[in-house]
Amino acid sequence: MPRVVVVGASFAGLYAAKGLRRAADVVLIDASDEWEYTPSVHEVLGGRRKADTILTSFTETLPGVEFVKGVAVAANESEVHVEICGSIKKLAYDHLIISVGCSYAQPIKAQLASSDRRAQLAGAQRLYRDASSVLVVGGGAVGVEVAGELAANHTVTLTAREDELVRNLPEAARRYALEALRSKNVRVELSKHEEERGSFDARVECYGARPRTGWLATFVDRDARGFVRVDDHCRTSMDNVWAAGDCVAKNADQYLAAYAHFEGEYVAAAVCAEITGRAPPDPYVAPARIVALALGPDDGVLCYGRVVVLRGRAVPWVKALVERWVVRLWPLPYELFRRLPALA
């Protein structure tokens, strides 16, 4: 069977590997040997969950897929070069899928050099547990969820350069999030273009996502920020190389775990069609945006398209159910979701 190498094992890479394991010999490369469910990291930082509850072994998640623990450092039209324990291993491929995602400030995401994510998360958990006051920097979804989680046991200040929280959500959701945080005594400072001055016991940076694509150099086309350019079939500038997830250049509203999943599933179908000689799937169309934003353990807001469909205590339960579904790699069929009507 042809060999497919998938670089990066989060939402996009895992669903791509799952979709191809019966059509090809699949090799999955990642710097860690565990999959982290990053949408729930705020619950770990707040002390509500232990680190190991959001970490799952790749071998348990995807039996039948060869896993290589290492860091991709270069690629050409037929090989990926992977650094493993200080030495370089060259992995040949017939098809390559790039799904390396983005780097982010610690402790929200692990750095590639991190050897023990459990220890890193446990250390962050202790830091915030012992802190009385915490500064959260960043007014996007990550910053809002972290602030809402920490507010129960800390004096929290959230600062953002923007003049609104979670700007890409509907106005009603933005307003609800701001009111919810303030009701939890979170001090929200918007339009802050200078560093917040004051004494804080701890700080959480919730901004600055950057694609982990430097190792690609000029192998495939990237935009000025380093995101990989793809066509409407998620194919890069190289015929046998695809890309999916947060490392792809796309609409800013689509940097969500759900879209990484949809793109991974779509890429699997596209590569499978190439392998079997079938007609390629229709061009990729991003489904309507679905966002569940937690505002602490007992509050949140759920949006579909530009409409708020749920708010309050039920939203964290929805997020918990989604997590239990996704960590088992159960299907969230792209073909179904792309046909759902968008609500304006």
Q: Which fold has domain 3-114+208-286?
A: FAD/NAD(P)-binding domain (3.50.50)
Confidence of residue 331 (pLDDT cuts 50, 70, 90): confident
Q: Please say if the pLDDT value at position 149 is more than 70.
A: yes
Residue 194 has a pLDDT of 66
Mean pLDDT over residues 242-267, rounded?
Answer: 97
Residue 114 has a pLDDT of 55
More confident residue, 115 or 108: 108
Single out the residue of 257, 261, 268 nearest to residue 233, CA to CA. 268
* Token representation of residue 255: 């940097």
pLDDT digits (tens, 9 = 90+) for 201-224: 999 999 989 999 999 999 999 999
Q: Please say if the pLDDT value at position 266 is more than 60.
A: yes
Residue given tokens 């879209």 in the structure block: 259
Instruction: Measure the CA–CA gap between 28 and 43, rounded to whole angstroms.
Output: 28
Which residues of the chain are in CATH 3.50.50.60 domains? Answer: 3-114+208-286, 123-205
Confidence of residue 155 (pLDDT cuts 50, 70, 90): very high
Is 244 in contact with 12 (CB distance < 8 Å)? yes
Mean pLDDT over residues 305-334, rounded?
Answer: 94
Mean pLDDT over residues 56-72, rounded?
Answer: 92
Mean pLDDT over residues 178-195, rounded?
Answer: 91
Residue 196 has a pLDDT of 64
* DSSP one-letter string for 240-264: TEEE-STTB---GGG-SHHHHHHHH
Q: Which fold has domain 123-205?
A: FAD/NAD(P)-binding domain (3.50.50)
Residue 192 has a pLDDT of 82
Residue 151 has a pLDDT of 97
Residue 322 has a pLDDT of 96
Query: Phi, psi at residue 186, to the nearest 5°?
Result: -80, 125
With a CB cutoff of 8 Å and minimum separation 6, the contacts of 137 are 143, 158, 159, 160, 196, 203, 204, 205, 206, 207
Mean pLDDT over residues 292-321, rounded?
Answer: 96
Residue 212 has a pLDDT of 96
Residue 232 has a pLDDT of 97
Mean pLDDT over residues 119-124, rounded?
Answer: 93
Confidence of residue 3 (pLDDT cuts 50, 70, 90): very high
Q: Please say if the pLDDT value at position 344 is more than 90.
A: no
